[in-house]
Amino acid sequence: MRLFPVAPVLALMLAACSGPEASAPAATPASSNPATTPAAPAAAAASLPTSPTRDETGMHIDCQGTRLHLAALPTQDTDASRLTTLEIEKDGTRQAIAVPKEMDGYTAVGLACVQDRSGTPYFVVQYGELPFGCSFCEWYYLYDASGRQLTHSTPPLRGTEGDEQEPNNDEYEKLIDTLGIKHPEVNYIED
């Protein structure tokens, strides 16, 4: 009876059943010389941003060992705007992230994980209204991996009342450009 190695066969089967982002890394030849051994593909894959995970209270996204949680608060009034809470978790410790002062009356509605050109992770949080939204409610804020807010939207709106107004994302756009970050697709708590 001839036995086949299970690990390579299993890796091929998993790669065939998964999307391109989950394909198994190619096997690397064994080498006794560390200088000729290629870098581990798993290390590079571990640094890539991940998709959000949803549960009964909201969602979270992992980004290089840090997790950002976005949860919807319960409400009794179906006509009222819903509020959310934002918490960062690192090394088993969770900490609340306050809503930016200029976003009073708005709430976090979406998340994304991004990296700058050197691979440093950041979170993008979109603020707006739930569940209805509005025509100009798309404010983006950049946070570092410790949950520190790096941008502001002061004043929140550009334009004069009565005229066409738009969100002020100037600091956000300038900082992501400086860091070499492409604006991501944001994952929303309510789709």
Question: 117-165 pLDDT, tens per residue?
Answer: 999 999 999 999 988 777 678 999 999 999 999 999 999 999 887 778 8
Query: In whole angstroms, what is the distance from residue 123 CA to residue 120 CA?
Result: 10
| Confidence at residue 16, expressed as pLDDT on a 0 to 100 scale | 37
User: What is the number of structural domains in the chain?
Assistant: 2
Query: In whole angstroms, what is the distance from residue 59 CA to residue 35 CA?
Result: 42
Mean pLDDT of 72-84: 79
Same domain for 36 and 97? no
What letters, b where the CB count within 10 A reaches 16 and e where it falls short, cover 152-172? bbeebeeeeeeeeeebbbebb
Give start and end residues of each alpha helix (H) in the chain.
6-17, 41-46, 170-179
Query: In whole angstroms, what is the distance from residue 81 CA to residue 102 CA?
Result: 17
| Confidence at residue 177, expressed as pLDDT on a 0 to 100 scale | 98
Same domain for 90 and 165? yes
Which structural domain range is residue 18 located in?
1-46
Is a pLDDT exceeding 80 seen at residue 17?
A: no
Same domain for 100 and 57? yes
Same domain for 149 and 121? yes
Same domain for 39 and 67? no
> What's the pTM?
0.73
β-sheet bridge partners, residue 125: 111, 141
Same domain for 102 and 168? yes
